[in-house]
Amino acid sequence: MKRIAFLISAFVLLLATARALEIPFLSGHINDNAHMLSTEMVAELEAMLTAYEDSTGNQIVLLTITSLEGESLEEYSLRVAETWKLGQKGVDNGALLLIAKDDRKLRIEVGYGLEASLTDAMTSYIINDVITPRFKQGDFESGIREGLQNIIFAADGTIGIDDISSASGDDFPIWMFMTFWFGIVGLFTVMGVFMQGCMGWTLYAFLIPFYLAPAFILSEESKSPIGFIILAIYLLGYPILHLLLPKTDFGKKMAKKVSSGSSRGGSWSSSGWSSSSSGWSSSGSSFSSGSSFSGGGGSFGGGGSSGGW
């Protein structure tokens, strides 16, 4: 009888093992196996997460699958994170965003080292207030992009639970977008101020629409004249600075640096991410950077949150 019981137990275990959903190959930061993203979006997000990892060491990875095939979302997500060993060994600074398209489920799995910033409350907010509202509208690309951006900002310590409690689900993404927008436009503004000759004035006129449109959006969203104040500062401050400050080759050097970009396709700083298309190649929903990619030996303990749409 003991032998029979043992054989039955072994058979059941064998069946369970055989039915376990296969863990896909880790090809990069973006593993879009369910084809939820366009080729261009895969390239953009891969560049963003690569630049972020290069700068901070935090390794954030996306995996989309068609179905869990009956397996538990939490168990499968943890198996993927542990198998891929996201994050650095001993630092455990990895995070996984897993999306099961047909099951309409998703989860953020957090490594030990990021649990202080990517808390359960924070990951629950990102899932329920940032990602799933866009998924319900059928906008998968926007939901994934803004979800990953929020994970980055939370892991970086840029936002915390206090910021969440004082901002609505709609206001927060607008704030992030405007910060990114004015950061990029501001870079070209500084370039123009120091440019010699008529190029500085040409750039001044060229940038006006890029300040004007966000001014209306930001003022409307914030219910304050902040957008128009920024516009007025630009319209008056740029000419004054351009006339008073000495002209150097600073603008030329910065323009050359921006246009050349980096071979990895982007850079990350505390103010955000900037990208360049050079050095990247993509085909279909896969992405190739010309080098191998793997986890760094990080560990996970089941921290994070799950949700659905």
85 and 230 in a single domain? The answer is: no
Question: Do 99 and 76 touch, CB atoms closer than 8 A?
Answer: no
27 and 117 in a single domain? The answer is: yes
Question: Do 285 and 42 touch, CB atoms closer than 8 A?
Answer: yes
205 and 263 in a single domain? The answer is: yes
Beta bridge partners, 141, equal: none
56 and 202 in a single domain? The answer is: no
239 and 301 in a single domain? The answer is: no
Which CATH number fits the domain that encloses residue 74? 3.10.310.50
- pLDDT above 70: percentage of residues in the chain: 69
Mean pLDDT (whole number) for 197-217: 82
Q: What is residue 302's three-state secondary structure?
A: strand
pLDDT of residue 254: 53
State how far the Cα of 36 lies from the Cα of 97, in Å rounded to an integer.
Answer: 13
For residue 165, is pLDDT > 50?
no
115 and 235 in a single domain? The answer is: no
Question: How many domains does the chain divide into?
Answer: 2
Question: Do 306 and 105 touch, CB atoms closer than 8 A?
Answer: yes
Within a domain: 191: yes
102 and 251 in a single domain? The answer is: no
Find the domain containing 235 and state its range: 171-269
State how far the Cα of 242 lies from the Cα of 7, in Å rounded to an integer.
Answer: 84
Within a domain: 7: no
Question: Which residue, 67, 77, 151, is CA-closest to 107?
Answer: 77
Residues 6+ apart with CB under 8 A from 55: 267, 268, 269
- 102 burial (CB, 10 Å; 0-12 / 13-18 / 19+) is exposed
116 and 185 in a single domain? The answer is: no
Mean pLDDT (whole number) for 163-167: 47
Within a domain: 251: yes
119 and 221 in a single domain? The answer is: no
State how far the Cα of 212 lies from the Cα of 219, in Å rounded to an integer.
Answer: 11
Mean pLDDT (whole number) for 50-79: 92
Q: What is residue 60's three-state secondary structure?
A: strand
Residue with token string 């640096």: 257
Within a domain: 164: no
51 and 146 in a single domain? The answer is: yes
Residue 150: CB atoms within 10 A of its CB come to 26
Edge-first strand listing for the sheet containing 59-65: 30-32, 59-65, 94-100, 105-111, 300-308
Q: What is residue 96's three-state secondary structure?
A: strand
Amino acid at 1: M
28 and 116 in a single domain? The answer is: yes
pLDDT of residue 261: 46
Out of 133-142, 255-264, 294-303, pick the least confident: 255-264
Question: Do 45 and 62 touch, CB atoms closer than 8 A?
Answer: yes
Within a domain: 165: no
Within a domain: 61: yes
Q: Average pLDDT, whole number, for the chain?
A: 77
pLDDT of residue 270: 46
153 and 217 in a single domain? The answer is: no
For residue 13, is pLDDT > 60?
no
For residue 183 the two structure tokens come to 């950061």
The pLDDT confidence band at residue 230, using thresholds 50, 70 and 90, is confident
> Where is 30: in which H helix or E strand?
strand 30-32
State how far the Cα of 116 lies from the Cα of 100, in Å rounded to an integer.
Answer: 26
Within a domain: 276: no
pLDDT tens sequence across 169-197? 444 455 556 666 767 788 888 888 888 77
For residue 138 the two structure tokens come to 């059928």
pLDDT tens sequence across 77-136? 999 999 999 999 989 999 999 999 999 999 999 999 999 989 999 999 999 999 999 999
State how far the Cα of 183 lies from the Cα of 238, in Å rounded to an integer.
Answer: 16
Within a domain: 117: yes
Strands 59-65 and 30-32: parallel
